[in-house]
Structure 1
Amino acid sequence: MTTTLAIVGATGKMGRLFGEIAEASAEYEVVSRLDSRSALDEMLGADVVVDVSVPGVTQSVVEFAVQHGKQVLVGTSGWSADRLAGLRRALGDPPSSGVVVIPNFSLGSVLATSFAAMAARFYDSIEVIEAHAATKVDSPSGTAVRTAELMQAARAARGPVSAPHSDQRARGQQVASIPVHSLRLAGIVAKQDVVFGGTGEVLTITHETISPSAYAAGIRVALAAARTARGLVVGLDALLDLDGTGASGGGAGAGGGSGSAAQSAPEPENVSGQAATATSVTS
C-alpha cells in the first residue's frame, strides 16, 4: 500500500531530498509540496506530513498536523525540551497519532553521538565543536544539542563537566554544562568533533557529512517509522538496534509505535535533541 506524503519546506535542500527519495520508491507518493506561500491545510490530503521547514515555523506546522490527526516526521531544528513536552501532551494519552523528531538523519552521526555518550562516563573535560554551511539558520545544531544532553544524561552520577571560564563568550554556549562551539562556513556540509580531555590523553570522536546523500538511509528508516508511530519518538537511535539486542533504542519520553518505531524505552526528560535558538529565520 502506498503512503502519501506532504512535504513542508519542499523547496529547501532537505525537502528536495525527501522528494527524490519518495519518487524513487514505490512505497511513497508525494501529494503535496508546501513552501512559505502555502496554506497549511494543503497538507491534509496526505497520510504523513514531513516537516523540513525552518525553526520559526516548525512548531505551528507540527501543531496543525497533530490537531488534524496526521502522522508527522520532523527534520527541523527548534524543538527544545519544553516544546517536546508540550507536543507529547498534545498527542494525548493514549496517543492516536505519532510524531517522529529526527535531529540528524545520518547513520554515522547517530553512531558518533552514541559513542560520545559512552565515553562521557569516563571524562570530566568535554567540549563540542560543530560546523555547518553558512546557510544554516540555527546554532548550536540540533545534533550538537542532542549529543551534549545525552552525554550529560549518561554521566549524571558524575555531575556537570569541568568548563573553566565559561562566562567568557568565546568559550561557547553551554548545553547541559558542556561548551558547544558553532562554525558556519562556506564549503562545509556538516561536521562535529566531541573532544574529551583526560590525564595525559585526548580523545576526539569525529563525524563529517561530505554529501547530503548520507541522509538517505536514515530518511528511509524514519519514513517507515512515521507511518505507524504512536506518541513522540525522538532521534534516529530510537529506531535502530544500536546495541545489537534486536530491539530499538529509546525515544525521548516516547511511547514507541508499532512497526519500525517499535516500543521504546524513555530517555531522560531533559534530552531535547534540538537546537534551542534560531539565529535568523527566513520565511
Structure 2
Amino acid sequence: MTIRVAVAGATGKMGQLAVRLIEEADDLELHAALDSRSSLDLMLGADVALDVTHPGASAQIVEFAAGAGIPIVVGTSGWSSDRISDISAFVRGHADAGPVLFIPNFSIGSVLGSAFAALAAPYFDSIEIVEAHHAGKVDSPSGTAVRTAELIGDARGESGPVAAPHADQRARGQLVSGVPVHSLRLAGIAAEQRVVFGGDGETLTITHSTLSSSSYEAGILLALRSAPAASGVTVGLDSLLDPGLPGTAR
C-alpha cells in the first residue's frame, strides 16, 4: 500500500528533506507540497499530513488536518504540554478526528538522550538543560528541551521538584516542568542539547549533537509510516520506537 503524504512547509529545510525522502521511498507518494501561500484544502485526500512549518502557523494546520480526519505528524517546535492537551481534548471530542503525532525531534539519538535523562532524573536533585540551535531558530526553548524537561519532571515523581535556586533571576533560565532551561542561538551550530546533573562530588552530562540533517531521516520515515495506524494523540518518537522507553502517549 502506498501512503500519500501532504507536506506543509515543503519549501523549508525540513520540508525539502521530507519531500526528498517521500519521493525516494517505494511505499510513499507526495500528495501535495504546501508553502505559506497554499490552501490547506490541498491536504484533502492525503493519507498522512506532515507539518514542518513554524509555531505561528502550526496550530491551524493541525486543527485542519485533525478535523478533516487526516492523520498528521507534527514536527514543528513550540508545542507546550498545555497546547497539546487542547488538541487532545479536540481529538477526544470528535469521533472522526484524525490522529495527531507530535514529534519534537526526529533524531533517534536525541530521543535516546532524552530517555537516558529521564532514567537519571530520580537520582539527582540538581538538573539543568542547555540547548543550542542555529541563529535563525525562532522559538526557545526548543521543543526537544521542553520534551526532555517534561520527561524529567514526570520521572522524578515522588522525588519532588528539581532544585532550582534563584529561579526568579532571568539569567537562571526558563523553568519547564521545574527544570531550568538555557537556550543559545548562534551561527555555526546545527543543534545540541546538554542535560547536566549535579550530585554530591560529581556531575553527569548527557549530550546529543546534530551534525547533519541526515540524522532526521529514519525518524521522519518511521513517523510517516506509523501515522495511518495511530489513534488519539501521541507525543514523542520514543512512543513509536519502544514502549519501554520513558515516553508519553496521550
- Structure 1 and Structure 2 fold alike (TM over 0.5): yes
Superposed counterparts of 1:223-234, under 5 Å: 223-234=224-235
Superposed counterparts of 1:23-42, under 5 Å: 23-42=23-42
How far apart are 1:252 and its partner, in Å?
Answer: 3.2
- Indicate the residue corresponding to 1:268 in structure 2: none
Query: How big is the alpha-carbon RMSD for the aligned residues of Structure 1 and Structure 2?
Result: 1.4
- Indicate the residue corresponding to 2:127 in structure 1: 126
- Indicate the residue corresponding to 1:180 in structure 2: 181
Amino acid at match of 1:26: D
CA contact (8 A) 1:73 1:99 kept: yes
- Indicate the residue corresponding to 2:111 in structure 1: 110
Amino acid at match of 1:182: S
CA contact (8 A) 1:5 1:31 kept: yes
Instruction: Name the TM-score, length of structure 2 as normaliser.
Output: 0.96
Amino acid at match of 2:86: G
Q: Give the structure with the higher percent helix.
A: 2
**Secondary structure of the corresponding residue to residue 223 of structure 2:** helix
How far apart are 1:251 and its partner, in Å?
Answer: 3.3
CA contact (8 A) 1:232 1:251 kept: no
4+ residue runs over 3 A deviation: 93-96, 248-252
Show CA shifts across 1:110-162 (max 9, x none): 10101100111000001000000111110000000110111011002111111
- Indicate the residue corresponding to 2:88 in structure 1: 88
- Indicate the residue corresponding to 1:210 in structure 2: 211
Distance 1:57 1:161 in 2: 33
Amino acid at match of 1:166: A
Percent identical among aligned pairs is: 57
Amino acid at match of 2:36: S
How far apart are 1:83 and its partner, in Å?
Answer: 1.7
How far apart are 1:78 and its partner, in Å?
Answer: 2.3
Show CA shifts across 1:204-247 (max 9, x none): 0000010000001111111111121111111001011264xxxx
1:204–1:23 CA distance, 2 compared to 1 (3 A): same
**Secondary structure of the corresponding residue to residue 222 of structure 1:** helix
Distance 1:53 1:87 in 2: 17
Amino acid at match of 1:125: S
Distance 1:228 1:164 in 2: 45
Distance 2:197 2:80 in 1: 25
Instruction: Name the TM-score, length of structure 1 as normaliser.
Output: 0.85
How far apart are 1:45 and its partner, in Å?
Answer: 2.8
How far apart are 1:82 and its partner, in Å?
Answer: 2.0
1:242–1:64 CA distance, 2 compared to 1 (3 A): closer
- Indicate the residue corresponding to 2:63 in structure 1: 63
Q: Is 1:251 aligned with 2:248?
A: yes
Structure 1: state its 5+ residue gaps.
254-283
How far apart are 1:249 and its partner, in Å?
Answer: 6.5
